[in-house]
A and B are shown apart, each in its own frame.
Chain A
Amino acid sequence: MNETSTAVTPASRVRLIVFWAYVLIPLAWGVINTLRQALKLFV
């Protein structure tokens, strides 16, 4: 089997976007917080 035989359905595409957002939004929040802290080095 290869990836072409498992065509991604619209429903699974939505699941994929939601799942990535679920992990990336908290990570982005943490990175922004840390960046704010890091900027204190330059002020």
Chain B
Amino acid sequence: MTSMSQPAHAGPPTFFSKQATVARPGFTRWMVPPAALAVHLCIGQAYAFSVFNGPLTKVIGITQSAPDDWSLTTLGWIFSLAIVFLGLSAAFAGKWLEHVGPRRTMFTAACCFGGGFLVSALGVWLHQIVLLYLGYGVIGGIGLGLGYVSPVSTLIRWFPDRRGMATGMAIMGFGGGAMIAAPLSVALMNHFKSATSVGVAQTFVVLGIAYFISMSIGALAIRVPPADWKPAGWTPPDTSHRMITRNHVDIDEALKTPQFYLIWLVLFLNVTAGIGILGQASVMIQESFKNTVTPAAAAGFVGLLSLFNMGGRFVWASASDWVGRKNTYFIFFVLGAVLYYFVPSFATTGNIALFVLAYCVILSMYGGGFSTVPAYLADMFGTAFVGGIHGRLLTAWAAAGVAGPVLVNYIRAYEVAHGVAKADAYTMTVHIMAALLVVGFVCNLLVSRVNEKHHMSEAQLANEQ
């Protein structure tokens, strides 16, 4: 096996350098997905942060909120900051991560995410909210962004024959991380709570150390393939009539193409249509089926949606290897729009089974949108800088994170204020979601091959590597 040639400008390889992570003979590519999962399962904790909200409002009062305790509004900014810094770090660190490789990026993510918990623990102990904003919000958020994008391009290079499946496995971990973190955090808080403590600071310390170790294991295990590597017996498919390129586009150059902005809109619209519903699922099913669905059953509905959100990330991304990336998004937009259009009628006719099934499918496509997009980008812009381009595309997620909940909450509030019954207040919202998906369909339709003028020359590519 030949090793990747050393760039002329580089110094001696260190343990964390890209050159030191080139796979040696005997390494199997199937070690890479669990390395990526080790990181994504940790950072997926972000979706479970709300389990700390209740205890954090009683840090001083312990059994009930004291006047000096933090309010839910104050605490809400922690998660919002984390998502903003996820988007910013993914967008701005893209070039750096392609340059230094996945190991250094994943280890930096481990330091940031684990360290963010430790700073937050200090914030709880000193009762300084600014330390929670800085710790989990800013430092942890940077760890989230770096951790999210760091293994993606490596996976795509190891699995050129199954790009969707490979990235689907990792990004499925982000969906599943909350399923581990939520019960674990509750158990730890119960273990540490006492007459003088709600147990959050101690839980943050344990989680910070555990996540640092787990993510570091992923960073140590990750390997990049040698430059000339390809799977046994695999020949690159004929791409002359397909939406898959063998060329490469630089990160900055990708931003000059209409394809980047169209795929940005595709992701933004797909996420907007799902994220608002995800946040309101419990209230929505209880209001739609008043006196039928209890709060416990509604919590079950939320759990079911989480499972479909996670499963969809793997299933849809894997399916995209067969049906094509563009066709997969066509399915999301057509099926999503149809389901959103009919879902109010399932509620009015009292058909809870169809109501639940429709939302499960919608949430599977919400998750699938996240996991299919890295492979879509690799098809369009090549694999050389797909991690960095993916990082910049994630600003669509941050934007949708604001737009989705705002749409759902404000439209519902407007409807209720104008005399619409709560059970019917979601009709307008879901019909708007259906319309957004139709717009997404058009954006996806407009995606075509990237113009050759944006492709890198062999010399440029060799210089970058």
Binding site for B on A (CB under 8 A): 1-9, 12, 15-16, 19-20, 22-24, 26-27, 29-31, 33-35, 37-43
Contact = CB atoms under 8 A, between A and B. Distances in A.
Contact of B304 (A4, A16, A26, A38): A38
Given A1-B2, A26-B41, A41-B301, A12 B221 contact: no
B323 interface: no
Interface in B32-54: 34-35, 37-38, 41
Dominant SS at the A interface? helix
Nearest to B227: A1
Contacts of A27: 37, 41, 173, 176, 179-180
B231 A3 contact: yes
Contact of A22 (B34, B179, B181, B226): B34
7 contacts: A3-B29, A22-B34, A27-B41, A34-B303, A37-B299, A37-B302, A40-B303
Nearest to A21: B34
A1 B306 CA distance: 41
B307 interface: yes
B229 interface: yes
Given A24-B34, A31-B176, 16 more contacts: A2-B233, A4-B233, A9-B26, A12-B26, A19-B221, A20-B34, A23-B173, A26-B180, A27-B37, A27-B41, A30-B180, A34-B307, A37-B303, A38-B304, A41-B304, A42-B300
Contact of B179 (A24, A34, A42, A43): A34
A25 to B, nearest CB: 10
A20 to B, nearest CB: 5
A31 B173 CA distance: 11
Q: Most chain-A Cβ atoms within 10 A of its Cβ — which of B29, B303, B306, B310?
A: B303
B300 A39 contact: yes
Contacts of A33: 179, 183
B173 A12 contact: no
A40 B231 contact: no
The 8 closest A-B pairs by CB, nearest first: A30-B179, A41-B300, A40-B300, A3-B232, A37-B303, A30-B180, A38-B303, A38-B304
B322 interface: no
A29 to B, nearest CB: 7
A35 B302 CA distance: 11
A19 B176 contact: no
B28 interface: yes
Contacts of A23: 34, 37-38, 41, 173
A40 B285 CA distance: 14
B228 interface: yes
Given A3-B231, A27-B41, A40 B176 contact: no
A15 B35 CA distance: 12
B28 A8 contact: yes
A18 to B, nearest CB: 10
